[in-house]
Structure 1
């Protein structure tokens, strides 16, 4: 119970739910169960796993869920491209954020918590009607509002990963030398949610605005591990969550050009995985290590890390994961100028991808769809100097990308601009570069800015080509990330 609830003298009377008629219309002739199955299929397409059933659809249509959690939001926007939550009949997130049922009767107008039911361990969906809700889960929902405030400080690219309430408090206590309470289930939930939130914000805004503050939650997570959980299942989840958070923070460092920091974070995650025998975490750490090695100019290390990731990932049963790892290997072979080995890895990646998603696909792979497949292949051909083929794949990647992944749209379009410029098509390159500049008020990514700067240098001798001078002038006027 929050302090405002304790001090309120006049409880807010319950109001009747307002049915979501728009959502009901979108369901059409399908039964709630059929529509729920379609939601689950759509979730798998973008790497989400939601336990949607007919009862959930009924609650949405009855107006009991005024705004879905972030996992469902991504799924619904994937199912109905070009629409917003309000277009789907939901209330704006800002109007319901932090509101929660205060009495048994006030179940209407609830903000659905973050829980996506795809975390390790048993999951219990939130429902104010159910009296078996555990204290630990209730604590997690109370904390989720703090997590939202910690991670979002405004619109556009003004984002931050400030101290996470339950984790941050544990870390503060440790730093002050005071006894630290033993972490429990709600800490594991909060840690897993922190990882999801960082990934969500990176998808939309890029890494630069996040990395400056992301190390504090990571230190807090490892302070929880030092405190020691009572139950082994909780300890395992905390280790897995801390490892995934280390990879997420490492990626923020990687994407913002801090390669040494990224290498350290990935190594930390790999050590955590090895210590606990977590094959999935180890595969993820090797996957990112391979990507970093490629970007840092160590292609042979990229190949070896990608191959190590494939060895440990093979028993996990995820064709999509193996597809991504094959692409990581292809990137290394391209860096070694081994076209034959690169092409073989690309074919293997495509074949594995076509097997489709499965329940074994890791949660962190939500970014990996057809657009990312095309984008990574474009990078391979670009490294090999085949600019026309690289441009073709980059263009397709930008066209296929879900609008949610703003950062990736900027990345693929920047790749396209560079490939076009180097392939002797300066006017088209300038037009693509302009589209990237249009996105920079939403995206803070040193990777994107570095690529765009390279494109500008290539275009300098072509100032007289259509649109090039305008692009160069606008690019030169852009503020640079510190």
Structure 2
């Protein structure tokens, strides 16, 4: 059964197309006639499906016809998860430990399938998700108990070490290849949560936290290689896992990464809502580093929305938080939040808001203090530096920055980085008459084609 506070996927599917229950039933009957297999589907039949009753295989095939779902897609997912909207079945899982385990299973069963018609969480669907997160009952991790073999703290330590290695490797190499390893580790974590027993509640909560970290990482890696639908599903499952771990800071980090996807796909207001929800969740129990990260992410969303004044206020808050310094209780995943990162994000905001000269200064300051291991980050910000330079008619400098990005991108499996490099190269095409630009365009043909 589905959480009736959210609704069955079939409800979303037919409402998306403006169909009533009787309207859907009529279309299914018509599809049956076309196939030569008449059915007696009624409004009441649809009603019971939306309460959890499962249609037989013949009727599912007719429903797929009505919604124009391919046989290939229907074979990859069980009923009702192949229905067209909202593409995130994890939303229907309750905010309980058992619901979290089911949500992780939903994501893992979907594999690397990525729908072409990606739809960002927005409106009522997003509000429902954020409200569910904020109002979930505490201590829900205690409710799930496996009856299998005992999971030792040493096993959890082993997973923690692999997570750390994956995070560092992603900084350097991008997520294109590492996503397979991350998904394998998430599958192991899900298996332990589903079947294991635990010597202490803290061990169980820690494993839920690791599922959240891995789900967030898988979401980020899918987003990084352009698999937006798969990325979003992992983010939702990660948020439920973080809630079950009772770690508000970890949940805030998941929401912050979700916000990047939201504003990057043209939904800055939704990104702002995600960050505001995270800030509410951590109020009174955060650390300056986490607060700085959230303020900077909020600034990026506000810059994308063209809210100049609010953006700069958020950036000022980020700097003020960071100046309070690190603390012993800073979460380990926040290792990358430093002055260079804030400067890079500030430069990106300035570029979005039309101040190319100020953006270039910030990019220059940040680049001087960023470590060489952050290869993907260097690629992204070199391309933004090139844009800022070109907007100031510094063609040679823009060409040099783009060339550096092109060199670094060759060692990173990141669709996002490749897209940025491709865009940086394209913006130089009007200047192809200059020798440096001509040579770069010739070198970059494999990237731009």
TM-score normalised by L of structure 2: 0.64
User: Counterpart in 2 of 1:433?
Assistant: 402
Post-superposition CA distance 1:79-125 (Å, at most 9, x none)? xxxxxxxxxxxxxxxxxxxxxxxxxxxxxxxxxxxxxxxxxxxxxxx
Relative distance call for 1:212 and 1:460 in structure 2 (3 A) is farther
Post-superposition offset of 1:217: 1.9
- What residue number does 1:470 align with? 439
Q: CA deviation at 1:435?
A: 1.0
**Whole-angstrom CA distance in 1 between matches of 2:272 and 2:178:** 29
- When residues 465 and 397 of structure 1 are mapped into structure 2, their CA distance, relative to the original with a 3 A threshold, is farther
Pairs aligned (count): 302
Structural mapping, 1:56-67, within 5 Å: none
Aligned match of 2:330: 361
1:319-360 alpha-carbon deviations (Å, 9 max, x no partner): 111011001111111111111111111111111111111112
The answer (yes or no) to whether the contact 1:239–1:276 under 8 Å persists in 2 is yes
Match of 2:296 in 1: 327
The residue that corresponds to 1:385 in the other structure is 354
**CA–CA separation in structure 2 for the residues paired with 1:290 and 1:477:** 32
Match of 1:424 among 382, 386, 393: 393
* 1:46-445 paired onto structure 2 within 5 Å: 181-231=149-199, 232-445=201-414
CA distance in 2: counterparts of 1:467 and 1:212, whole angstroms: 39
Partner SS state of residue 428, structure 2: helix
* Counterparts of 1:314 and 1:295, CA distance in 2: 26
Cα distance in 2 between the residues matched to 1:412 and 1:396:
12
2:387 and 2:225 map into 1 onto residues whose CA distance is 19
8 Å contact 2:315–2:346 — kept in the other structure?
A: yes
How far does the alpha carbon of each residue in 1:282-311 deviate from its partner, in whole angstroms, 9 at most, with x for none?
Answer: 111111111221112110011111111112
Corresponding residue for residue 24 of structure 1: none
Cα displacement string for residues 106-153 of structure 1 (whole angstroms, at most 9, x for unaligned residues):
xxxxxxxxxxxxxxxxxxxxxxxxxxxxxxxxxxxxxxxxxxxxxxxx
Q: CA deviation at 1:180?
A: 5.8
How far off is 1:213 after superposition?
Answer: 4.3
Deviation (angstroms), 1:407: 2.2
Separation in 1, partners of 2:333, 2:355: 31
Question: Which structure shows the higher helix fraction?
Answer: 2
TM-aligned CA deviation for residue 224 of structure 1:
0.9
SS in structure 2 at match of 1:249 = helix
Where 1:361 maps in the other structure, the secondary structure is: coil
Please say if residues 151 and 192 of structure 2, whose CA atoms lie closer than 8 Å, have aligned partners that are also in contact. Answer: yes
Determine which of 453, 459, 469 is the counterpart of 2:428.
Answer: 459
Deviations 1:246-281 (A, max 9, x none): 111111112222222221111111111223422122
Distance 1:351 1:427 in 2: 36
Counterpart secondary structure, 2:311: helix
- TM-score under structure 1 normalisation? 0.60
Whole-angstrom CA distance in 1 between matches of 2:149 and 2:438: 61
The alpha carbon displacement at 1:395 in A equals 2.2
How far apart in 1 are the matches of 2:415 and 2:156?
32
